[in-house]
Structure 1
Amino acid sequence: MTNTLKILTGDITRLVMDAIVNAANASLLGGGGVDGAIHRAGGPAILEACQRIRRERYPEGLPSGEAVATPAGNLPARLVIHTAGPIHHSDPDPDGNLARCYRRCLEVAHENQARRVAFPGISTGVYGFPKETAARIAIATIRAFFDAHPDAGMAVTLVAFSDADAEILRRHLK
């Protein structure tokens, strides 16, 4: 199977996938936006797994650009891959750390044999990352991963919250 990349407008919490990505905050304990939606829809199993990760691996919080996997609880996915995106105005390397988020999520998915992976826009909400720049970085990073892993057989879906966001992604997919 070849690697594929597509764009979809919808609710990431309703997608049947091997893994969905959570644009989490460093605490991993839930929040607003897609992070809150994933925690609410997935139920307490996600929070419990995140609390364990905080105790055992990241007591100071998940560093920007890193990614970890948890069970998906009540979601129709097998895994949730949590990544802490950069806060655009205060991160010393926002572009590099955003690319690292996408790369690390794909690596974690690959390590967990997750072939169907859905991403929301990482850092494009309250973290203030410009959507055009974020779209360019996301697509370039995913394509670079595909080039490095041509036999991964991954089907990656970029899930836009709105039609306008999907159009931004489509422009950069061409």
Structure 2
Amino acid sequence: MRKLSCVASKIDPDRGWWLNIIFLPQVYMFNRVFDHVTSFTTMIISIERFVAVVWPFKVNLLITKTRMVVVIIFIYVLSFALQGLFFFIYEIRWKTSEDGRRFPSYRTTSLYQRNEKAIIAYNSLVLSNILVFAPMIVVRFCSVVILHKITASMR
């Protein structure tokens, strides 16, 4: 049998922890951005199906490939723009321990410290309503209208 060396054992645990500390805020924010992109994309698909069922002869006129590409690009730009502030909440400071090793740590930026209440309100009220509840309401509305239209056409 051939012995395989484990790549993970060759990684310095301190450096792995550093990478975790350094990239954690960005990964968290990208996760939130793509959550919102997903909800908006689902809303757009629901609207497209709504148009196809309610106005079947106008669907090719109203929904084109170019318009959908523009809408998808707009969704990404909007999601990044609305979440852009949160990329600048934390800054990384390098500290030295008693044994002389350096390690990174988080610290909130002065922008966040000056505007903490407004940022928390923006995050919990505005972003929740715009990026989560609005698409959910639109999808529900479109689904109900589609269901009503299909059941009416079956009679």
TM-score, normalised to structure 2's length? 0.24
Query: Larger % of helix: which?
Result: 2
> Which structure carries more strand by proportion?
1
Q: TM-score, length-normalised on structure 1?
A: 0.22
Higher-Rg structure is 2
